[in-house]
Amino acid sequence: MTEFLQSLPVYIALLAALLNLVRRQWSLNLVALVVQFICVFPPLLKILPLQLALIHPFTGLMVTLILYLTLLGVGGIKAIDLRHTLTSGELFRGAAGVFLLATLRAFLPQIHQAVFPLVSIDHLFLSLGLILIGLLQMGTIREPFYLAIGILTFLSGFELLYSGLEFSFLLEALLVAVNLLLAIVGSFFIIKDSESEAA
């Protein structure tokens, strides 16, 4: 039971990333992004002091706030509709994401033993899972908001993986700056895309 509770944030974060990969509903995607960033905190707390582990979720909340204010400005925030039926594209992305995670889980012991023996299995599964889902999202969608989410998910996984191997203050500061810059650039393209559609 204790092991299940310790692994729960890992699976919740991956489910949130899968939700962002599959569904195309801005309000729901922002909530899933917040959940993803928050659920990364417990695995980081196992390997880093509290003050350092808080950097990643705090940056994620700032990034989400920037995107939220942008979407609010262009009128993209609407009530979450869970009754929406899945399209064929959403089903494909969901099946592809689940297949990637299942394949990763099957080969995880070999990857752990051969490449990352110093990183715990759950930590490795979460970090590589976020990297794969982020890459899949970047490769299957063109809208600026979802591209930004894909890049942020990829960077989140990379930061987790690197933190499990070695912590660097310089790299951490660089990743915080990159995350904030991505949110600002993403916001710019969201506004530009909205203006071109309105024209």
Amino acid letter, 151: I
Structure tokens at 193: 């895309």
Task: Please report the pLDDT score of residue 197 as a whole number.
Answer: 66
User: How many domains in the chain?
Assistant: 1
Task: Please report the pLDDT score of residue 24 as a whole number.
Answer: 82
Sign of the alpha-carbon torsion through 13, 18, 21, 24: negative
Classify residue 23: in a domain, yes or no.
Answer: yes
Classify residue 2: in a domain, yes or no.
Answer: no
Task: Please report the pLDDT score of residue 108 as a whole number.
Answer: 92
Classify residue 3: in a domain, yes or no.
Answer: no
pTM for the whole structure: 0.91
Task: Please report the pLDDT score of residue 21 as a whole number.
Answer: 92
| Burial tier of 178 (Cβ tally within 10 Å: 0-12, 13-18, 19+) | middle
Task: Please report the pLDDT score of residue 119 as a whole number.
Answer: 85
Classify residue 4: in a domain, yes or no.
Answer: no
Contact 10, 125 (CB under 8 A): yes
Structure tokens at 168: 């660097």
Task: Please report the pLDDT score of residue 1 as a whole number.
Answer: 60
Measured CA angle at 134 (ends 117, 73), to 5 deg: 140
- State CA 19 to chain mean position distance: 10
Classify residue 1: in a domain, yes or no.
Answer: no
Structure tokens at 198: 């309105």
Q: What are the pLDDT tens digits along the chain (199 aa)?
A: 666 677 899 999 999 999 999 988 888 899 999 999 999 999 888 888 888 889 999 999 999 999 988 888 877 666 676 677 778 888 999 999 999 999 999 999 998 888 888 888 998 999 999 999 999 999 888 888 889 999 999 999 999 988 888 877 888 888 899 999 988 988 888 888 777 766 5
Task: Please report the pLDDT score of residue 86 as a whole number.
Answer: 77
Classify residue 158: in a domain, yes or no.
Answer: yes
Range of the structural domain that residue 194 is part of? 9-77+86-198
The model's pLDDT over 165-194, given as tens digits with 9 standing for 90+, comes to 887 788 888 889 999 998 898 888 888 877
134 Rama class: left (phi>0) / alpha (psi -120 to 50) / beta: alpha
